Chain A
């Protein structure tokens, strides 16, 4: 549905985007991941036809974002990073304005306004002026504005920054709900968020795509290692020595120490070593106080790819 081909953007001699290629299917939720300044926002500004590419193209359903700008904009709902809103308008007034600007006729407009009020939980602030709103409400008004025209594509630039955990959970739920029917691209620098919400993740760094796939695939691709945590009451040196002898162990070290025992972190080459470790510890007549395997760590993948 969205095709991005050889997208390059140069601003004042700096290459912000360098030959970016990807496509998004209809109904997909795509996470756009990258450190600050990687080019996420620039890509979004170009997709929404706010900026034009230096070279390359963005097409949505075959419509070019530059040449068919108006048709493209009609299809897109957009929440910019800074959530710009008209501060002096009341929330209800603003939603009505946004809907009318998207060409909604009376009946439809009324329906859509009540839908977004409910979806974004705005009942309490409808008669407030926007400059009185808290950060969380601003974000929700921004989101409401983006979805009011029932756009086929929703583009959200860091929609959860600055929100408290409850609000983040709400916004994520909403994105998931919308993503059931619509195509969503949203950017974030929080990995857990991408993993929780997206079907697919694209990792971008310094204007280039450095990774692409489902969160699980990405973890595999980057050769994420299994980390096992073990807590036992055996003498430190002996335990370490024994652990390091187990086949498949790359690294074993003390992680923490407390009254009842010592915690170790054991890195494996990918195999699940829990049973091997248990056997060894038991064979030495020590007690296992705790053992657990941490999940494939997306943060490591991210750090690896964006070094």
Chain B
């Protein structure tokens, strides 16, 4: 398969995946919940701080995504298996990697749209005071990486089962585990030799930096490796058909 053709197939499947979010109510519910929860939780305290900063907004995102990302990915493989469309998909001339990448980027693009819809938040903040644009852009970028990590987990757990609810719950648990693992109270109680590893593995720690507006290559490499690992596991899993 030529390079161009390889990406053409991914692009075709990506388009179908992306559009299918909008064919079902899930997209609109997702965006509505995301916007309401995000805006409400943020602006609730915003005026107390008297600070034109979006830092608190970005700190909220990991928690909102924790529920929304697995909800978005839960059906991606579970539904294909349940309806039997997996049999259609995997008898088409495409590799497992192409399928996984298309689904992953479809979900990521959807989250990007949802994030784009929060543009009112920085606009409001900036109209109220002098806010730095750098940290805002950094925060959004970081949010996308964090969402990517959650989505990679959710996509993987969706391939475990035919049942979407089970996929959601396992996805949520795994996401939560990886998020919380780097938190101080876990690190404090962990054995000393394990603590630095946990701190590095935790999704949350890396996001703290990003939310502050500090984009470090270390964090980006971390997120990319994390996403790659789960996509790779996903490919391994769907490769075992029968």
Q: Which residue of A lies closest to B5 (CB)?
A: A103
Q: Could you tell me the distance between the alpha carbons of A85 and B92 in the complex, rounded to whole angstroms? A: 13
Q: Determine which of B5, B8, B20 lies in contact with A88 in the assembled complex, contact meaning CB atoms within 8 Å.
A: B20
The answer to whether the Cβ of A76 comes within 8 Å of any Cβ in the partner chain is yes
* Residues in A neighbouring B1, C-beta threshold 8 A: 70
Q: Determine which of B23, B86, B91, B242 lies in contact with A73 in the assembled complex, contact meaning CB atoms within 8 Å.
A: B91
Q: Could you tell me the distance between the alpha carbons of A219 and B92 in the complex, rounded to whole angstroms? A: 38
The answer to whether the Cβ of A282 comes within 8 Å of any Cβ in the partner chain is no
Pull 17 A–B residue pairs with CB atoms less than 8 Å apart, ordered by A.
A11-B242, A45-B242, A48-B91, A50-B90, A52-B241, A71-B93, A73-B91, A78-B91, A80-B88, A84-B86, A86-B16, A86-B20, A88-B20, A88-B24, A97-B12, A101-B93, A101-B94
What 0/1 pattern do residues 84 to 102 of A give for CB contact below 8 A with B?
A: 1111110000000110111
A208: min CB distance to chain B, Å: 20
The answer to whether the Cβ of B45 comes within 8 Å of any Cβ in the partner chain is no
A51-B242, A70-B1 as given contacts; A103 in contact with B9, CB under 8 Å: yes
* Residues in A neighbouring B5, C-beta threshold 8 A: 103
B93 touches A73 (CB 8 A): yes
A57-94 residues at the B interface, CB under 8 angstroms: 70-71, 73-74, 76, 78, 80, 82, 84-89
B87 touches A73 (CB 8 A): no
* Residues in A neighbouring B88, C-beta threshold 8 A: 78, 80, 84-85, 145
Considering residues B5, B8, B92, which has the most beta carbons from chain A within 10 angstroms of its beta carbon? Answer: B92
Taking A11-B242, A84-B83 as known contacts, 16 extra A-B pairs with beta carbons closer than 8 A to each other, sorted by chain A number, are: A50-B91, A51-B241, A52-B242, A70-B94, A71-B93, A74-B93, A84-B88, A86-B20, A86-B85, A87-B83, A88-B24, A89-B16, A89-B20, A101-B9, A101-B93, A103-B8
The answer to whether the Cβ of A49 comes within 8 Å of any Cβ in the partner chain is yes
A70-B1, A102-B92 as given contacts; A84 in contact with B20, CB under 8 Å: no
A45 touches B83 (CB 8 A): no
The answer to whether the Cβ of B95 comes within 8 Å of any Cβ in the partner chain is yes
* Residues in A neighbouring B16, C-beta threshold 8 A: 86, 89, 97
* Residues in B neighbouring A101, C-beta threshold 8 A: 9, 12-13, 92-94
Q: Determine which of A71, A80, A89 lies in contact with B87 in the assembled complex, contact meaning CB atoms within 8 Å.
A: A80
Q: Could you tell me the distance between the alpha carbons of A50 and B212 in the complex, rounded to whole angstroms? A: 48
Which residues of B approach A to under 8 Å, CB–CB? 1, 5, 8-9, 12-13, 16, 20, 23-24, 83-88, 90-95, 241-242
Q: Could you tell me the distance between the alpha carbons of A76 and B93 in the complex, rounded to whole angstroms? A: 9
* Residues in B neighbouring A85, C-beta threshold 8 A: 85, 88
* Residues in A neighbouring B83, C-beta threshold 8 A: 84, 87
Q: Determine which of B12, B20, B87 lies in contact with A50 in the assembled complex, contact meaning CB atoms within 8 Å.
A: B87
Q: Which residue of B lies closest to A105 (CB)?
A: B8
* Residues in A neighbouring B12, C-beta threshold 8 A: 97, 100-101
Q: Could you tell me the distance between the alpha carbons of A11 and B13 in the complex, rounded to whole angstroms? A: 31
* Residues in B neighbouring A48, C-beta threshold 8 A: 91
A109: min CB distance to chain B, Å: 11
Q: Which residue of A lies closest to B90 (CB)?
A: A50
B102: min CB distance to chain A, Å: 10
A84 touches B23 (CB 8 A): no
B20 touches A70 (CB 8 A): no
A232: min CB distance to chain B, Å: 56
* Residues in B neighbouring A97, C-beta threshold 8 A: 12, 16
